[in-house]
A = this chain, B = another copy of it.
Amino acid sequence: MNNSDKFKKLYAAERVKIDKLLTDALAKRKPLSLYEPAAYLLSNPGKRLRPFLVLIAARAAGSSFKKVYNAAVAIEMLHTFTLAHDDIMDKADKRRGFPTLHKKYGLNTAILAGDGLAAVAYEYLLKDCSINARQVLTLFTKSLVEVCEGQSLDTDFELRTDVTLPEYIEMITRKTAVMVETCCAIGAELAGAPKPVVKGLSAFGKNIGIAFQIQDDLLDIMADGAEFGKKIGGDLLEGKKTFLFLTALEKADSGTKPYFLKVIENKGIRKSEVKFYKELYTRLGVIEDAQKAIARYTNLALKSLRAVPNEEDRELFTWLAQLLIKRTN
């Protein structure tokens, strides 16, 4: 078995374990009115990328999976909590093909089950903390603060007409990348890793998180609808200021710019126009720019792996990075 097959098997096996841990975490808790909706949230089939990163970061830093399973569960809970509240704010009806929490249980329950999940996330993280609890909790809290700030910036962008590409990168860093960074950071910290290892793994997480989000923007227009589980061009339909859109706006000339300004003005486009904008993106080289940006951030991530002592661990992170940027959903 080559390493790639080995890593694939490992990820699959750990996903199963993480799914079970997430189910068990809330199974016996009461009141049901709080924990049943929270469990529904956690049961939504995710990639479990974040908890897997906690595990492999801990191992790469000299510890073992079993010492950080609670922390892995914690970060998935925290991430899932942010999705639940985001879905309310976005008025989203579905997530990964399933009704969103507020659609299924109503607004009040969705707010409260989200809050409860964030609280239980801290409870789980604390189970795996010993001497460096303060350090680990500070990282975890930082990611929570920044995800709120990122979400707020994202909302600000909807009303602004002058958002720049650097501002966009700043926003997705806070909204998405910092939590991915935190997965690696707390895995390493819980393993008691020396500073350069923590720093290297953190940089891996942050940069792969940015690449991941730009990839998301790209998939929104390029992916196969059935597989992606979302509407193609959903970001354009909603007038979202994504990497693609802002790059296009920057590159457009007097002939094409009005089309993009119109998207801002009308807060989105019609479904029948998606094809036209996709062609415009291609013509302006925006698709390629996104691919290059993904490659750039991925390379930054891979470079920072030099701090990881063991070769097979470096290979595992590299394999995971490739998997993420080659994903089709």
Interface contact B116-A152, CB-CB below 8 Å: yes
Chain B min CB distance to A131 (Å): 9
A97-149: which residues lie under 8 A (CB-CB) from chain B? Answer: 107-108, 111-112, 115-116, 118-120, 122-123, 126, 129-130, 133-134, 137-138, 141-142, 144-145, 148-149
Residue A33 interfacial (CB < 8 Å):
yes
Chain B residues, Cβ within 8 Å of A111: 85, 88-89, 111
**A89 and B112 contact, Cβ closer than 8 Å, known pairs A34-B152, A134-B133, A137-B137:** yes
Closest 3 CB pairs of A and B: A34-B152, A133-B134, A116-B148
Residues 28-64 of A, flagged 1 when their CB comes within 8 A of B and 0 if not, give 0011011000000000000000000000000000000
Q: How far is the CA of A88 from the CA of B106 in the complex (A)?
A: 13
- Nearest chain B residue, comparing its CB with the CB of A90: B108
Most buried by B among A107, A133, A145, A152: A152
Chain B min CB distance to A80 (Å): 13
Chain B min CB distance to A270 (Å): 25
Chain B min CB distance to A242 (Å): 19
Chain B residues, Cβ within 8 Å of A318: none
Chain B residues, Cβ within 8 Å of A280: none
Interface contact A33-B137, CB-CB below 8 Å: no
Residue A282 interfacial (CB < 8 Å):
no
Interface contact A123-B141, CB-CB below 8 Å: yes
Chain B min CB distance to A170 (Å): 10
Chain B residues, Cβ within 8 Å of A120: 145
Interface contact B119-A152, CB-CB below 8 Å: no
Residue A151 interfacial (CB < 8 Å):
yes
Residue A153 interfacial (CB < 8 Å):
yes
Residue A156 interfacial (CB < 8 Å):
yes
| Apart from the given pairs A31-B149, A85-B111, 7 other A-B contacts in the complex at a CB distance below 8 Å | A89-B111, A118-B118, A119-B141, A122-B137, A123-B142, A123-B145, A126-B138
Interface contact A144-B119, CB-CB below 8 Å: yes
Residue A23 interfacial (CB < 8 Å):
no
- Nearest chain B residue, comparing its CB with the CB of A126: B138
Q: How far is the CA of A156 from the CA of B33 in the complex (A)?
A: 7
- Nearest chain B residue, comparing its CB with the CB of A138: B126
- Nearest chain B residue, comparing its CB with the CB of A159: B33
